[in-house]
């Protein structure tokens, strides 16, 4: 490679953002595969503080959801990778990690969607479930904690444990409901 040419891995986020014509680079970035490994400016590699997003605490996953929704990617990188500033990192590496973060979040959201019951959604709406929308994730924490003194404990649990509990509870409630219907028929 000639001295005046720069490889994609050498282009930092800051220099990419300063470019007027990003078309050629965007084409390449579009096809980058997701990666959980972040390449640092000094050439070292950094893995996320947990192997998957589900390994982070429930509180951290709520933070990731809100930050991604608001477009605050820097905060997500800071919490997941303990990186203060991504502007001096390779745009290639940051893009690959961002795609991994998005795939992890999509997996979490898809799992959470399984918890919502399509058959009862109209009934829940009629009962006024929308009143809880203003509370965001806090409504879920409140219901899981069963009281103020346990909220911090729920928030400190690994996300996957909280999700598993919710999924088991949903399945148990459906089984219990079916059992009660069968019992009344006898």
Alpha helices in the chain (DSSP H): 13-18, 23-30, 58-70, 73-81, 91-115, 121-127, 137-145, 151-156, 159-185
Q: How many whole angstroms from its chain centre is CA 175?
A: 30
pTM of the model: 0.80
First and final CA of the chain: distance in angstroms? 81
d(CA 98, CA 36) in angstroms, rounded, equals 8
How many other CB atoms are found less than 10 A from the CB of residue 104?
22
Residue 146 has what pLDDT?
79
CA angle 28, 32, 37 (to 5 degrees): 135
CB atoms within 10 A of CB 145: 15
What pLDDT does 1 receive?
A: 41
Q: What is the pLDDT of residue 129?
A: 77
Q: Token pair for residue 121?
A: 């959604």
* 2 φψ region: left (φ > 0), alpha (ψ -120 to 50), beta (else): beta
pLDDT in tens, 81-104: 999 888 889 999 999 999 999 999
pLDDT for 120 equals 67
The answer to whether the Cα torsion of 49, 52, 58, 64 is positive or negative is positive
Half-sphere exposure of 73 (CA within 13 A, CB side): 12
Place of tokens 């014509």: 21
Query: pLDDT digits over 52-70, tens only?
Result: 999 999 999 999 999 999 9
Regions of the chain short of the pLDDT cut 70? 1-9, 117-120
pLDDT at residue 7 in the model: 67
**Residue-level pLDDT at 177:** 86
Burial status of residue 66 (CB atoms within 10 A of its CB: 0-12, 13-18, 19 or more) = middle
The predicted pLDDT at position 117 comes to 63
In this predicted structure, what is the pLDDT of residue 5?
A: 52
């Amino acid at each position: 490679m000639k001295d005046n040419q720069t490889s994609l891995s050498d282009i930092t986020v800051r220099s990419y953002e300063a470019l007027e014509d990003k078309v050629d680079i965007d084409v390449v970035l579009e096809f980058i595969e997701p990666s959980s490994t972040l390449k640092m400016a000094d050439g070292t590699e950094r893995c996320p503080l947990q192997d998957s997003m589900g390994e982070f605490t429930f509180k951290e996953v709520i933070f990731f959801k809100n930050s991604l929704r608001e477009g605050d990617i820097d905060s997500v990188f800071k919490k997941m990778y303990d990186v203060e500033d991504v502007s001096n990192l390779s745009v290639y590496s940051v893009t690959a990690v961002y795609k991994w973060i998005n795939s992890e979040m999509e997996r979490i959201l898809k799992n959470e969607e399984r918890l919502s019951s399509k058959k009862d959604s109209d009934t829940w709406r009629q009962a006024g479930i929308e009143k809880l929308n203003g509370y965001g994730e806090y409504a879920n924490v409140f219901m899981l904690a069963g009281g103020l003194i346990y909220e911090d404990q729920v928030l400190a649990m690994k996300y996957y444990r909280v999700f598993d509990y919710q999924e088991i509870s949903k399945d148990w409630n459906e089984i219990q409901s079916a059992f009660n219907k069968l019992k009344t028929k006898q």
